[in-house]
């Protein structure tokens, strides 16, 4: 009778997709179900988790706590996926190819809760088994229960503070000691240990191991696994930091000062559109490291400034705010949909001198003007913001870095063509890879007479916020 009742309540149905059986959702009533769907959709389509979760959230009315759980679980599984697979492979005797993809995804979801979440072990196991029932897969229950309890027995209560074959990174520089050595030897093969323990693709782990000190490597890796805080940049034209902080605290929001004088950190994810000051334009969401490019450009009243890759608009609006809304900011982008977000931000923050412009990919229709400064925040591999964009680590490819370098070089040359003599250019990226940062700037300045490097700064992840790179260049007269 219980089994029949579960089937009647199941929000799932079977569907054929490329001759494979998959599970399609009809509605949601728990965060774990939403996490399951988000992971399934991510695996099938490659879409960003944030897009999937936002779309579903707009169509369903999950309680904030359940939605927060979905975000935590889905992002955690993607962020830790290689480590989760290593844990599962150590406890499952059959080859992964003999485990149904939907079942493996369920085991990843359960393992993340057992190992990394604050959910009690018995609850993590039981809710995962219950989810198997809810999706009409009672035949998975015993297997799921056994595997997850074996995972739980693998964990000791001890922590250590260094790499080891039985040391699994948790958070804040701490490692959970395992009752079995399942990880590669960090002495014999450091990139393979780093890749599996910290869930990085081997190509990226090799890069970081080859050029970073042990201290920088550890900080960068731990930061890549960190659940990101929401950072707000206070709009100095509309509010003070104290005013925003007080308004948030009155609503029970846990808020602390950020690294920047005009930033605040929120301890927990929330629907930002419902927070005090959003509709009034008191603040924008922007990480501390992303505030550096506009500050380095230092816009002045009356200047003409080109933001060459403006969407989603955080740096455009920051430029306007820093100038007292007295600089003339032209905000260009090649995507109409993304440019719409720039328009929304400008309107919400009540800025008057920022003008969004849709341009062609070749930049041939960039508005002509005697620009005093150009900000070019280029598309990149996102290796400095892996905590904030958990999917980016699995999209990283060495050959794609080379393609990005070609695009980044073209954009920097476009910036040079549109800035006046004596003007300045900020080249900005949230990658920390040398080809996309210092090497690219050095190559372009060597090839382009009249372009000189004034200063550059590389911030590695975790020191103290996201990783980023900025270079200030000047077009000599």
* 457 and 318 inside one domain: yes
CA distance 470 to 315: 13
Residue 183 lies in a domain: no
* 347 and 428 inside one domain: yes
CA distance 299 to 372: 9
* 295 and 273 inside one domain: no
Last-in-domain residue among 239, 265, 285: 285
Which residue range is the domain that position 26 belongs to? 2-156
178-186's contacts with Cβ under 8 Å and 24+ in sequence apart are 178/154, 179/153, 179/154, 179/155, 180/90, 180/154, 182/86, 182/87, 182/90, 182/154, 183/86
Residue 185 lies in a domain: no
* 357 and 463 inside one domain: yes
Per-residue pLDDT reduced to its tens digit, 363-398 = 999 999 999 999 999 999 999 999 999 999 999 999
Residue 182 lies in a domain: no
* 16 and 90 inside one domain: yes
Q: What is the CA radius of gyration of the chain?
A: 24
Backbone region of residue 46 per phi and psi (left: phi > 0; alpha: psi in -120 to 50; beta: other values): left
Domain CATH code at residue 48: 1.10.940.10
Using DSSP's 3-state secondary structure scheme, residue 430 falls into coil
- β pairing state of 155-160 and 175-178: antiparallel
pLDDT attached to residue 26:
53
* 279 and 322 inside one domain: no
Residue carrying structure tokens 């190992």: 115
Residue carrying structure tokens 């897969």: 137
Domain CATH code at residue 324: 3.40.50.150
pLDDT attached to residue 3:
37
Residue 372 lies in a domain: yes
Residue 66 lies in a domain: yes
CA quadruple 314, 319, 323, 327: dihedral sign: negative
Residue 181 lies in a domain: no
Burial class (CB in 10 A: 0-12, 13-18, 19+), 69: buried
Domain CATH code at residue 267: 3.30.70.1170
* 298 and 262 inside one domain: no
* 297 and 422 inside one domain: yes
Residue 307 lies in a domain: yes
Task: Transcribe 9-39 into DSSP letters.
Answer: H--EEEEEETTEEEEEES---SHHHHHHHHH
Domain count within the chain = 3
* 278 and 296 inside one domain: no
pLDDT attached to residue 27:
58
Strands of 120-254, DSSP E: 155-160, 167-169, 175-178, 230-234
Task: Transcribe 118-144 into DSSP letters.
Answer: SS-HHHHHHHHHHHHHHTT-GGGHHHH
Last-in-domain residue among 244, 270, 285: 285
The answer to whether 349 and 283 are in contact (CB under 8 A) is no
Residues of the chain with pLDDT under 50: 1-22, 24
The answer to whether 419 and 374 are in contact (CB under 8 A) is yes
CA quadruple 284, 289, 295, 297: dihedral sign: negative
Residue 368 lies in a domain: yes
* 299 and 272 inside one domain: no
Cis check: omega of the bond before 312, within 30 degrees of 0: yes
* 280 and 293 inside one domain: no
Using DSSP's 3-state secondary structure scheme, residue 224 falls into helix
Last-in-domain residue among 156, 184, 218: 156
* 292 and 281 inside one domain: no
């Amino acid at each position: 009778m219980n089994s029949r009742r579960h089937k009647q309540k199941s929000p799932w149905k079977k569907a054929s997709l490329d001759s494979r059986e998959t599970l399609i959702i009809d509605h949601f009533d728990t965060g774990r179900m939403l996490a399951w769907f988000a992971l399934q959709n991510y695996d099938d389509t490659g879409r960003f988790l944030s897009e999937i979760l936002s779309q579903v959230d707009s169509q369903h009315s999950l309680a904030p706590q359940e939605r927060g759980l979905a975000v935590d679980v889905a992002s955690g599984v993607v962020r830790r996926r290689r480590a989760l697979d290593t844990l599962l492979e150590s406890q499952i005797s059959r080859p992964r190819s003999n485990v149904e993809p939907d079942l493996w995804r369920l085991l990843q979801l359960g393992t993340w809760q057992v190992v990394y979440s604050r959910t009690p072990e018995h609850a993590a196991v039981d809710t995962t088994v219950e989810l198997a029932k809810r999706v009409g897969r009672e035949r998975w229950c015993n297997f799921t229960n056994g595997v997850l309890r074996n995972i739980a027995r693998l964990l000791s209560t001890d922590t250590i503070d260094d790499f080891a074959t039985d040391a699994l990174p948790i958070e804040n520089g701490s490692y959970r000691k395992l009752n079995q050595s399942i990880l590669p030897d960090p002495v014999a093969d450091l990139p393979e240990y780093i890749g599996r323990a910290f869930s990085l693709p081997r190509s990226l782990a090799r890069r970081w191991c080859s050029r970073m000190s042990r201290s920088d490597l550890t900080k960068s890796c731990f930061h890549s696994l960190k659940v990101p805080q929401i950072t707000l940049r206070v709009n100095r034209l509309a509010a003070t930091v104290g005013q925003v902080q007080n308004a948030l605290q009155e609503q029970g929001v846990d808020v602390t000062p950020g690294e920047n004088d005009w930033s605040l950190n929120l301890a927990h994810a929330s629907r930002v559109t419902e927070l005090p000051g959003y509709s009034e334009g008191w603040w924008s969401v922007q990480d501390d490291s992303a505030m550096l490019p506009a500050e380095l450009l230092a816009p002045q009243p009356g200047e003409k400034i080109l933001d060459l890759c403006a969407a989603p608009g955080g740096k455009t609006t920051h430029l306007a705010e820093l100038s007292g809304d007295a600089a003339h900011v032209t905000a260009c982008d090649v995507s109409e949909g993304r440019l719409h977000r720039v328009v929304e931000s400008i309107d919400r923050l009540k800025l008057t001198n920022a003008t969004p412009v849709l341009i062609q990919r070749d930049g041939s229709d960039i508005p002509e003007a005697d620009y005093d400064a150009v900000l070019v925040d280029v598309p990149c591999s996102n290796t400095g913001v892996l905590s904030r964009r958990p999917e980016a680590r699995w999209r990283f490819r060495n050959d794609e870095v080379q393609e990005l370098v070609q695009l980044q070089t073209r954009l920097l040359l476009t910036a040079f063509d549109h800035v006046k003599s004596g003007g300045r250019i900020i080249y900005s990226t949230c990658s920390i890879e040398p080809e996309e940062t210092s090497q690219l700037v050095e190559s372009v300045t060597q090839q382009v007479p009249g372009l000189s490097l004034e200063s550059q700064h590389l911030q590695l992840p975790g020191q103290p916020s996201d990783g980023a790179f900025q270079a200030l260049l000047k077009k000599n007269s």
